[in-house]
Amino acid sequence: MATRAASDLSERVAHLEQMMASMSVTVDTAGSSRLEQRLEGLEMLVASLVAREESQEATIAMWETRFEELEADVRSMGEHTTETVEEMAMEVKLLKRAVGGSSEVAVAVKSRTKVPEPKKFSGKRSAKELENFLWDMEQYFATVGTEECQKVTLTSMYLEGDAKLWWRTRVDNDVAAGRPKIVKWEVLKRELKDQFLPTNAAWQAREALRQLKQKGTVREYVKEFSSLLLDIKNMSEEDKLFNFTLLLQGWARSELRRQSVKDLRECNCSGG
């Protein structure tokens, strides 16, 4: 009886050991399978991360390029803005100084204005043409801010024909004779008048004034009379008015007397 029980127990132990062995194999196999699956999953995750990292690097590189371009644009705009601000600051500075009455600033502002150049003088012996030329040159000097030491040289550039020939000859003769160069504007004006202003211009103008009559409109008569007066420097205002009135037609003379005009500048004849 005991022998049979021991035999049964031995069989049961053997069976249990077999079951345990079977269970051990089963556990090891299942664990290994799960481990492999987890490893595969990790490998896929790593591969995905690597791919994402490469994509991110490309994206970062693209944005870095765009940022550099933007930075360059901003820098360029900054330089342009700086120049603009500096120009505006200079404008404000000039305007402030101009308000203070600075002639230097006035010249700087004027120099930016397009100034018409004077008409050249050909040397024609006409008092009106010479006087107009000298006046135009002085206006030009004042507008562009010409320095005194530059006026003579600049004026010589606006001489042509006989006037230029005279100036060249005068310069050469001064050098040959050892005379000082003409460097002052007032001296050049006097020399031009001595050379090209008719010596009897006033006499001729007075003679023409005696022959003048109002033949057309009052406006035409005023123009002719005023033109002749330009060559007569020493006629008094009273004589100017007398001659002007004397040569008018009757109705215009009566109108001036009615207005009690005492000065030629007050004349306001209407008609024609």
Read off the pLDDT of each residue in 142-163 and give the average, rounded to a whole number.
94
Instruction: Reduce the secondary structure of 208-270 to three states and give it as a string.
Output: HHHHCCCCCCHHHHHHHHHHHHCCCCCCCHHHHHHHHHHCCCHHHHHHHHHCCCCCHHHCCCC
Read off the pLDDT of each residue in 13-20 and give the average, rounded to a whole number.
55
User: Which carries the bigger pLDDT value, residue 93 or residue 179?
Assistant: 179
**pLDDT the model gives residue 95:** 54
Question: On the CB side of 117, how many CA atoms lie within 13 Å of its CA?
Answer: 8
Residue type at 160?
E
**pLDDT the model gives residue 180:** 94
Read off the pLDDT of each residue in 254-263 and give the average, rounded to a whole number.
72
Whether pLDDT at 206 is above 70 = yes
Report residue 171's pLDDT band, with 50, 70 and 90 as the boundaries: very high
Residue 160, number of CB atoms within 10 A of its CB: 13
Whether pLDDT at 161 is above 60 = yes
- Please, are residues 209 and 243 in contact by the beta-carbon 8 Å criterion? yes
Report residue 6's pLDDT band, with 50, 70 and 90 as the boundaries: very low
Q: How far, CA to CA in Å, does 197 sit from each of 27, 125, 194, 264?
A: 133, 6, 6, 26
Whether pLDDT at 120 is above 50 = yes
Of these ranges, 77-86, 102-111, 116-125, 262-271, the one predicted with the greatest mean pLDDT is 116-125
Phi, psi of 159 (to 5 degrees): -100, 145
The alpha carbons of the chain give a radius of gyration, in whole angstroms, of 54
Read off the pLDDT of each residue in 11-23 and give the average, rounded to a whole number.
56
**pLDDT the model gives residue 119:** 95
pTM, to two decimals: 0.45
- Please, are residues 196 and 132 in contact by the beta-carbon 8 Å criterion? no
Tokens representing 106? 């006035």
Residue in this structure with the two tokens 């000859």, named with its chain if needed: 169
Read off the pLDDT of each residue in 156-170 and give the average, rounded to a whole number.
95
Burial class from Cβ neighbours inside 10 Å (0-12, 13-18, 19+) for residue 205 reads: buried
**pLDDT the model gives residue 258:** 77
Residue 264, number of CB atoms within 10 A of its CB: 20
Read off the pLDDT of each residue in 264-271 and give the average, rounded to a whole number.
57
From CA 4, how far away is CA 6, in angstroms rounded? 5
**pLDDT the model gives residue 79:** 59
**pLDDT the model gives residue 105:** 46
**pLDDT the model gives residue 162:** 94
Question: On the CB side of 124, how many CA atoms lie within 13 Å of its CA?
Answer: 11
- Please, are residues 111 and 146 in contact by the beta-carbon 8 Å criterion? no
Mean pLDDT of the chain: 74
- Tens-place pLDDT, residues 211-244: 888 888 877 888 888 888 877 878 888 888 888 8
**pLDDT the model gives residue 27:** 45
- Please, are residues 142 and 101 in contact by the beta-carbon 8 Å criterion? no
**pLDDT the model gives residue 97:** 56
Whether pLDDT at 86 is above 80 = no
**pLDDT the model gives residue 212:** 86
From CA 202, how far away is CA 116, in angstroms rounded? 31
**pLDDT the model gives residue 2:** 46
